[in-house]
Amino acid sequence: MRHKSFEEAVMKNAVILFGSPRKKGNTAELARTVVAALKEKGWGVRTLYLNDMNIRPCQGCYTCLPGGVCKIQDDMKDVRKYIMESDLIVYATPIYWFGPSGQLKLAMDRSIAFMDENFVSRLKGKKAITLTTFGDEHIDSCQPAVDMFTKTFDLLGISYAGQVNAPGCQPQGGIRRQYIEKAKALADSIA
């Protein structure tokens, strides 16, 4: 009987925090590309459609800090579980008013539960990538969101492993092939 090496036996996991209300739109096409590339490399991948989940706004009460458990009883407990089990977190969102969708922003605001009472992150060592789509042709239209992701990942001790920002995504299904190829290349580059 052949024994698997330790490296072969350990599967890496990714969670997709899908922030678009459209499951078949431009953001979905980028996310599907990343999912396919990761699965091809043997990763376990779970996609969370945030629009279908009941995630309430953060109350700023900090009761989550000591144990990492939020007092709000909603679907964020599942989001938290899958993030904790993952090596890679993929934030996929359309850009609305220079920021992520409200669906993704709610989940990001609740990330305070990943900090302890000394504001030390429970997510150190994880990686994240971001996938953004937007109708504007100006690539810098996503910069405020990219800055927010960068600062969030820095605070949480997450390594920002890359991004694909796809401008000119009008109409639905109008994403340019070059951004699909960039998404595949980004996923292929993740170790």
Q: Is residue 148 part of a domain?
A: yes
The boundaries of the domain holding residue 69 are 6-189
| Average model confidence (pLDDT) across the chain | 87
CA–CA gap between residue 182 and residue 5 (Å, rounded): 32
The total of other beta-carbon atoms located within 10 Å of residue 141's CB is 17
CATH number of the CATH domain containing 121: 3.40.50.360
User: What is the share, in percent, of the chain residues with pLDDT greater than 90?
Assistant: 50
Q: How many domains does the chain have?
A: 1
What mean pLDDT comes out for the span 116-133?
Answer: 90
Q: Say whether pLDDT at 1 is over 50.
A: no
Q: Within 13 A of 102's CA, how many CA atoms are on the CB side? A: 8
Evaluate whether 115 touches 66 at the Cβ level (below 8 Å). no
Q: Is residue 49 part of a domain?
A: yes
What mean pLDDT comes out for the span 63-89?
Answer: 92
Q: Say whether pLDDT at 134 is over 70.
A: yes
Q: Is residue 1 part of a domain?
A: no
Q: Between 184 and 174, name the one with better pLDDT.
A: 184
CA 116 to chain centre: 21
Give the CA distances from residue 36 to residues 24, 152, 160, 185, in Å, rounded to whole numbers and listed in that order.
Answer: 15, 27, 20, 12
Tokens standing for residue 47: 């996609």
CA–CA gap between residue 76 and residue 53 (Å, rounded): 8
DSSP string, 7-27: HHH---EEEEEE--S-TTSHH
- Closest C-alpha to 38, from 90, 79, 78, 83: 90
Tokens standing for residue 31: 């996310």
Q: Say whether pLDDT at 26 is over 70.
A: yes
CA–CA gap between residue 103 and residue 131 (Å, rounded): 15
Question: In the prediction, which pLDDT does 16 show?
Answer: 94
Average the pLDDT over each of 68-82, 102-116, 171-185 and give the range with the smallest value: 171-185
Q: Say whether pLDDT at 117 is over 90.
A: no
136-149 per-position pLDDT tens digit: 777 888 788 899 99
CA–CA gap between residue 125 and residue 59 (Å, rounded): 27
Helix (H) or strand (E) holding 129: strand 127-133
